[in-house]
Every structure is written in C-alpha cells, then in structure tokens.
Structure 1
C-alpha cells in the first residue's frame, strides 16, 4: 500500500502539519528557545535530551540518536506502519486519503461505506446485549466466564440474537444500507439470489479492530445449548476488503490502548483468551484469527515489541500449531528479536487457566516459557538416539536446514555451536556461514555521517539543514556535471527544492523515504554540521565550486586522452586551452 500513496499527497500533508503538534499530543513538550524539549520517549532518561524543531520539522534525541520526521515519530512511537502513519496524520490534518487505496476492491474503491456499516453492526450487537428479550443467556454466559461489564464494554462485546435476518432487517432497507453492502462487508451470506441471512446468529460477538481502532469484522462464539449442532463453535467474518485474517490480530488495538510500549506480547488462539487475560490484568495478549501465524502477523507483532511468547494448548493440535509458528518465525529473527513458547497443561486454555490460578501464577508460566532454540532442538530430537553416531548424524541433518533459515547473527551462530556440541560435528559444516571471529570480522559500510566528508556529502547535509541554499543564484556553473557518487541525489534535492521553495527539512527528507538514498539521508540529517549558521551559504557555494572544479578536471582529462588518439576540432582545442587555464589558477 505504501507505494500506492501518491508522493504529492504526502508532500502536501507534511507541508500542512506541524511536528510539534504531532509529538506534543503524545509526549508533552516544553519550549526551550526556538525548539521544544522533553525526556526521550525511546529510552529512559532524567534530563531532557529529546528536541523537536518547528523550523526544521525534525525530532532528534542527543541521548539515543532517535531522529526523524512526524511520519517516523508515529512509526516509532505508536508502532505504526508507514501507511498507518500517513492515514493518522491525514486525519489530524483534516485531509482525506486518496480513494484509490482500497486493498482489493479496484483502483477507485472507497472503503468508508464498508467501515461505516461494520461499525453500525457492532453498535447493533452491543444494543442487543443490553435490550434483547433473550439477552440474559448471553449475559449469564459472560459472567460465567468471569467477565465484568467494564471489560466487555472495552472490547465492544455484543450479542447476535436468534433468527435468520435480524441484522439484515435492522441495517438495510429504504433509507439505509443496501444488502449488497452488508454482503461485501461479510455481515450476511447469500447462497442463492434472494436468500440472504445473517452470518452471526445466537452468538457472542467480538468486534475485530484494526490498529487504528476501526471495526473491520467479527468473531462469533456459539452460545451453549444452541439448537444447530452442526454450527461451528467459532465463526469469523470471511475475507473482505477490510478484513484479512492472515494480516489482522484480535486485541491488538486494545493492547495498544492499555500499554504504550509493551515489553512482550503473548500470542494466544482465541478471542475469549484475550479478554479473560485482560480481565485478570494481563493486557499484552493478542490472538490470531483462526489461522496459523503468518509472516504478516510476525511483522505486525515485531513492530510492537521485540519479545514474543506463543501460548498454545498442550494437546497434539497445540503442539502442531506451535511447531508451525516456530517455522514461520525463523527467518524473521533478526538481531534483538526473541520468540518463546508456552504450552499449557492438557485440557487447559489461557481463559480457563488464568481464572483458575490468577494473574501472578499465569505470568510466572510466561516468564518460564521455553526458548525457541530449546524447543527446536527438543522437537527434532524426538525418536533419535543421540548416544549413537548414526543418530547424531540424523539429528544434525534434521536441524541444519532450520539453522539455515535464521538470518545472520548471534542466534544462528550460537545454535550452530550448540548443535556441534550435541553431535560432535564441525560447526562449519552445520552453519556454512558462521559468524566471523574477531580477526575475520567483515566491516560493513559506515553510517553516512561517519564517512569522510566530501563536497557532495557536505552539500547534501547543508540542504537538509537549510533547503533555501538550493535557491542561491550565485552557484557556479557546471557543478552538476561532475561524475561523482551521489550526484543524482544532490541534483534531485536541488530540483525538488526549486519546485517547492518553501519546503522545510522534514518534508524534504520524507520525500525520499521510498528511495535507496533514504537511510543515508536520515543518517546525514542527524549528524552535526559543526559550522555556524552564518557560514552555511559560503560553505555550500564552496562545495559546489569544488564539484565544478572536479567537472573541469574530468573534462580536461577526457579531452587530453582523446587528443592522443585523434586530432581535436578547433572548438575542442579552444576548450582544452580554457580548461588548462582554469585548472592552473
């Protein structure tokens, strides 16, 4: 979706916003001269080192190095994706998102009617829990499961009463929504034309919200004693333009409302598990929606916290689900991320167990959850005699492919070393790309602000600090003809500023987010210039003059080489002489 948001829309949005207002709505700021300060929200500190600049539209922490624009702040602070951050900023600015951003309904889809009808459905179900003549069965069930009215209200829990078309009649008809809209939202089913019926009937209804809090679908839990014995106990909204079970998590929005920066997340399997854990004070649980954990789930989870604990029933199905989650997790375990596994006693689920033993005992189980490495090695050792050489060889062959799924890093290195100890094999055979030792460590490219300064890099850094420099009329001629690395970036910055003379540093940086240059630009913008503001103009023009000199020297060398191979034209000879005079000055 990120590449479908028009660049022009993002530019206009950032020109309209003030980063001070965005940050201050989440982290109270106090003015200190031209800038604003607070204790950094990204690390613990007692003395404020976090600054926000209204002139530059940047935030920067001198303690931990956090740096960026309003978009980056929301992505880091609220753990939003890029599209979510843009949508939130657009809402704050009173701008409507471009209509072509519907996930799967065609280029001109407008999803607002769908969001609206699903919200109406939640309101309807909640009203039925309060007023329907048969509501007591649902209320008694929720009380039996230990839920208070407060927690039920927080999660928006409702009741779908008996009957085939209650919701259909309540939300559609003259002056209301069309049945087609309810069908598109997954609220009703229509197996044959003219034979539509409510999907959820005689069920407890759990609204499923997206990270922004918008209702996108429902989960329904069949009430005990429901007459249709063939009906599934749990029923989800089908895939719709709003709802994709492989990309959404139940309880994520409620978790984010309760905990700004959770230390860990507990991933469970059921709606009632999430709500029951929240009732007991465990507010960091979320649930997959009747499907195995996907890569998209993991990416969403790791945006919230680097520590995940998967919680499964201890039966065979739970063990199989845990193994699938491990296999999906392996490629996502970059440095700093951790995944653990908690398998509950046979016959228990989080809902029943937390009500039985309470918050403290259940959280003790979470603390003692099995690490991914232990679970991996234990699971693959089943049926193998590790005291036997042949068994050790079979074991190494089983484990090696899983080690190779891990990204380069400490976990991969330590797991290969541990397997080598268990089997007596050579670690290099178990991991063909072991972590380099101190003598062989490969040095990666240094961050842009740590590299030796060049005229081009310094010119870029100056533009990120003071874009108006690109408008100076006394810039030397032909500087852009120098063949040096990064010239495309510098010329692109200059052209962008000349098209938008009022652009500020924050929006200027954000314009390049989707390019390969963005990491270097972000690093440069966070580095100190170490020259007074009064010297910016002279420094910038000096950088361009050095680039222009490089261009002249390169042209002189090219003409000289050509003259050794063939006679130059009279015009080329004159140009060569002129270049010689300019270079010798």
Structure 2
C-alpha cells in the first residue's frame, strides 16, 4: 500500500514522538526535549533525546536519527508499511483506500492466502493421521518432539496424486487458483493439475506478517530426485526476498531486546529448515535462504533486523561455496555498521546435529564463536591456491585488492584494503635479507640525497612525486637503474609492488619520473603486451629511460639477460627490489627514532637499523645479489 505525503504528515501530527517512544524508553523532560537511555546501545548516562516540536529523535551514542515511523522500524523490526499501519491504528486514522486495480489484486492475494492457510492446516492434520506414521518416526529420530510440531506448523503431504487438490476443491477452491498459488502443477500437455508436494514432510513458509505464502517439502523417499522441494515463484511468494523463519526470528529478536536492551542478540543465517527449527528452539533467532544463494534483497532484509547477522553454513564443500557466494554478493553492499560475521559449527556438523547431540547450551556456545567478514574474505583468498611462488603470492595480493575495490563505500573500501594488506604483511614477514613479500604496508618514503655517504636529515618527503619535482644533483646508481629498467620492460613484475612503486620508486631520485609513469600505468591495468617505451616516449621520458639503460648496462644485471629463465629473472629482480624497499623503510624508521627521546632502547634500535642499511648498501654496491646467483 502506498501512503501519500499528506497522510503521513497528518499521522505524525496526531502522535507525539514522546508518547510513542515513551512506551519503550523511560523518558525524562529536559527543557523542550525528553532524554533517556539509548535503546540502541549500552550506556549509563542518557544520550537519547526526543523533540516533540520538531518531530524527531536523536541518539548521540549510536548516531541514529529519525521520526516515529523509523523508530518502530529500528526497534521492532517492522517494515515501513507495518510501522505506518501500527501508528495509524494508534492514531485512529483509517488507511487510505487503494485504487480499484490494487483492491482487486489484494482481494486475489487474500483468496490465495486463504487457500494456503487451509492447505497448511490440512498438512498438519495429515501428519497426525496414520498415513503420517513414517514422517512422525523421522521427526522422532531428529529429536523433534510433538509439542514443537505446532509451533513450527510442521505437516505431512501423503503420496496421493490429488489428495490436497481434492480436499481444497471440496472446500470451494478452483484448480486454477491452486496452480497460481503453487500448490498444484499444471501439466504442459494440458492434463489435469496434480499435487506439487507428495510424500514429504512440510514446512510452511510465511511472510513478514506470519501469513503462509508457500511451502517447503522434505522427501521421505531417499531415492527422490529432490531431497528438498520449494514452492515456485507466485503472486504471494518471491523466493529471493523472503527467508524461512523470518517471522519467528523477528519475534525472538524483539523479545530479547525487550529483556536486555543493552545487549546485542545475534541473528543467524543457516542452511536448512531443520537448522532454523533447531536454533529457534534454543532461543536463537535464525533464518535460512530457501535452496539458493542469498540474494541482495535478502541481505537488505537481514540488515533491517540486525547490523551484523552471523552466517553459519555447514563446514562441507557445499557450505563453503555458499559462504563464498555470500561474500561476493555482500562486498559491494557493505557500509559502516552494516556487515556480516561467520560461524562454522565444528566437526562437520550442522546446528540441528549439535542441538540433538549436545543440547542448546553447546549450540549457543558454538554459534557465538564468530569470524569477522574481513577475516573470512582473507582466508578464502589465502586458501584458494598454494602460495609457494612469487606469481601466486602476487595473484593473492591482486585478489585482495580487487575484493576491497568492489566495496562501493569509498571509506570502507580503503579501510578493507589497509586491513587486508596488513594481514598479508603478517603472513609474509620480511626476513633479515630481502626475499620478503609485499610493500611494507604503505609507509611513507624518506628519500636520501645519496645511497652512500651523507643522508638527508630533513622531514619525510611525500613520496616519489615530491622527489620528481626536486632539484636532483646526485649521480644515477647503476643497481637502481637496472631494477628500474627491468620493471619498465616487464610491468607484470612490478604489479604486486604497485604501492611501493608509488611510495619508494626505484630508490634513486633521478628515476622518480619513470616510477610515476609506471605506477599510473599499473593503476590503469596496463596490459603486459603494451610496449612501455612507447608510453614513455609520448610523455617525453624516452631520454631518461635510455640513460637508465646505459647506466644499467655497466653492471650486466642477470635479470636483464634474455637468456636467463623467466621465472628465475623475476625472482632475482624481486629480491633486489625488496632490498630497495627495505632500505627506504629502514630510513623512515630511523627518521622516526631521531624525533623520539633518547633512551637505551632507541639507541639500540638506531644502531641495528644503521647496521642493516649498511649491509644492504654494501651488497648493492658490491653486486652480491646476483654474484651469488651466478
């Protein structure tokens, strides 16, 4: 139902926010406002304010702000329409009349809903009749007692081809209506419709108001083609929008919030009907998608109920695939205060197994052990393939960067990239000599006037772009020139180090313009087949590349020799470039220590850093890196 602005304005004028909100929050008048403890966070002093004159509430502890409609949506997990209808009843306002077509559609849906409700009651009764004995035995083996059948309205569909059809037609239903509701299947050859669900345990699927809109059936025959069968898309049922158990889960959430307003009750997303039943029996709000991966619409529904639902899929391969699909679909939608957590039940079991074997306390304990979304994402990419070669490590970093880049919220995207890169650095810590992986976490570069001799004692430079604009009087270092020439000839080698290329360059200030162009090309996803020399020539940097090649030729770097195996050349270049990165990072650390108070600890750290830099510079100047390789 649609509500025009005039109706909504009148509704808000008739109800004072303090009266509506005061039913769930103890408010105390402070001047022209009312104050109380936040219903959204745990706090000891009031930071929640309601202003009747302006018609809104504001919560300083959570940052939430809105009117009486959004308040009911936030605190009671109602949809917009449900909140308006609740408030209209409280204000004594009649809901606007729908137009003729909408009224006809509503009447049609009401008729179909009546038949769905009658079908649910029939399924329930069939479970208790002799024909349902096998189904009752199955439920007993699953440790689902009879007093719980009615709570979840579990039923049984006998094996007769038209048993349900005959019953509903006798009650006045038309076969075409039952086909439209998804209860019957109409043969393509024009034959008579027959029951969709046969010889199955039935789980009613309800909408947000608790009305039955479809069914799911678990086959009794172990040889059945489909173990679980859901109703089709209909006027009433949209599989991609609804979640099984949503109505009951919302009630459990609301009850938990009323009992403990300052605590955050988890909302679980599990795989199957019986898992939902198990969790809700244990007092845990839980829902499940119905046989498909979670959709974006279902995620939006979940976030309206909870800022960080917990996805608890089975630990088998199917469960892992479901979790992976959820990660991919959720990434673009993540926002501050809107994410997911993950929880895997140990031992390859599902929640229903744990409830039956260990009880509700054990189930709650396991499901409260969660993994943050960012950790689950990192683990997925890490475990995709062995990380035993530079190429695979580079591919790992590229996947992490691409995943973070899919997050639409720019601030969150940047935060994810920083966090993922930090985990990457921790996974591949730099050893004492070169050969590490990564770019040092994106720390700023402190340029030096020379690689040997006196060092720049000034403040940190903003990076190679600042260096490129500076007056350069130093002699070009052959080792650095060789590293630069190799990177410019093979951009794929530099791609895993893109941030270091921007931050450190090639360690020699005279090479900074070439590094800037390489970084921008990498950011534009330049193809490895594109001759980079042509790009540099167009930018007027051809002479600088030629000079770098001339200087590099003097030391015959093995990774520039076309006769060297490609993978060996790339690995050797990586070790050399990481040495340059480590020198730059050590210089940055030295600069930071110079600004600290002198203690025994800072003196020791300074001595160690200087020693490390001296060792690396000696190895570079003596060309020890590739002398050992040759």
Choose 356-365 or 337-346, whichever is displaced more: 337-346
- CA distance change for structure 1 residues 10 and 237 in 2, over 3 Å: closer, same or farther? farther
Please say if 1:417 is aligned against 2:422: yes
Residues 70 and 178 (structure 1), Cα distance of their counterparts in 2 relative to 1, 3 Å cut: farther
Alignment of structure 1 residues 115-194 onto 2, 5 Å: 115-130=113-128, 132-173=129-170, 176-192=172-188, 193=190
- The corresponding residue for 1:404 is 405
8 Å contact kept, 2:268–2:284: no
Give how far 1:168 is off.
1.9
For the Cα contact (< 8 Å) 2:178–2:184, is it kept in 1?
A: yes
Q: Pick the structure with more helix per residue.
A: 2
Conserved? CA contact 2:200–2:219, under 8 Å: yes
Distance 1:414 1:102 in 2: 53
Paired residues for 1:56-75 under 5 Å = 58-59=56-57, 67-75=65-73
TM-score, with structure 1 as normaliser: 0.63
Q: 1:274-353 residue pairs with structure 2 within 5 A? A: 274-279=276-281, 281-344=282-345, 348-353=349-354
Q: What is aligned with 1:221?
A: 218
Q: Report the counterpart of residue 235 of structure 2 in structure 1.
A: 241
What's the Cα RMSD here? 3.8
User: Structure 1 residues 181, 379: closer, same or farther in 2, change over 3 A?
Assistant: same
CA distance in 2, matches of 1:147, 1:328: 34
The whole-number CA distance in structure 2 between the counterparts of 1:100 and 1:425 is: 63
In 2, the alpha carbon distance for the partners of 1:91 and 1:179 equals 37
Aligned to 2:503: none
Structure 1 residue 189 displacement after superposition:
1.5
Q: Distance in 2 between matches of 1:387 and 1:326?
A: 25
Query: How far apart in 2 are the matches of 1:394 and 1:101?
Result: 59
Q: Does 1:82 align with 2:80?
A: yes
Q: Which residue matches 2:587?
A: none
For 2:299 and 2:167, the matched residues in 1 are separated by: 38
Residues 33-72 of structure 1 correspond to what in structure 2 (within 5 A)? 40-44=38-42, 58-59=56-57, 67-72=65-70
Alpha-carbon distance between aligned partners in 2 of 1:123 and 1:24, rounded to the nearest angstrom: 40
Distance 1:55 1:123, change over 3 A: farther
CA distance in 2, matches of 1:419, 1:347: 28
User: Distance in 1 between the 2:295 and 2:38 partners?
Assistant: 33
- Which of 255, 270, 273 aligns to 2:272? It is 270
The verdict on how the C-alpha distance between 1:112 and 1:395 changes in structure 2, with shifts beyond 3 A counting, is same
**Secondary structure, in 3 states, of the residue corresponding to 2:305?**
coil
- 1:289 deviates by 0.8
Q: 2:197 aligns with which of 200, 216, 234?
A: 200
What corresponds to 2:511 in structure 1? Answer: none
Equivalent residue for 1:258? 252
CA separation of 1:394 and 1:148: change in aligned 2, threshold 3 A = same
Q: CA deviation at 1:316?
A: 1.9
Change (3 A) 1:202 1:99: farther
Q: Residue 452 of structure 1 aligns with which residue?
A: none
- Note closer, same or farther for the CA distance 1:108–1:118 as it changes in structure 2 (3 Å cut): closer
- What is the deviation of 1:367? 3.2
- In the other structure, the counterpart of 1:523 is none
Measure the CA separation in 1 of the matches of 2:97 and 2:498: 48
- Structure 1 alignment gaps of length 5 or more: 434-585
Cα pair distance change 1:89/1:155, threshold 3 Å: farther
Give the deviation of 1:239 after TM superposition: 0.6
Counterpart secondary structure, 2:366: helix
Task: Measure how far apart 1:290 and its partner are.
Answer: 0.7
TM-score by length of 2: 0.59
SS at match of 1:312: coil
Q: Distance in 2 between matches of 1:375 and 1:101?
A: 50
Contact map agreement 2:199 2:221 (CA 8 A) in 1: no
Give the Cα–Cα distance (whole angstroms) in 1 for the partners of residues 234 and 417 of structure 2. 39
Alignment check: 8 A CA contact 1:87 1:97 kept: no
Distance 1:94 1:184 in 2: 34
Rounded Cα–Cα distance in structure 1 between residues aligned with 2:47 and 2:348: 52
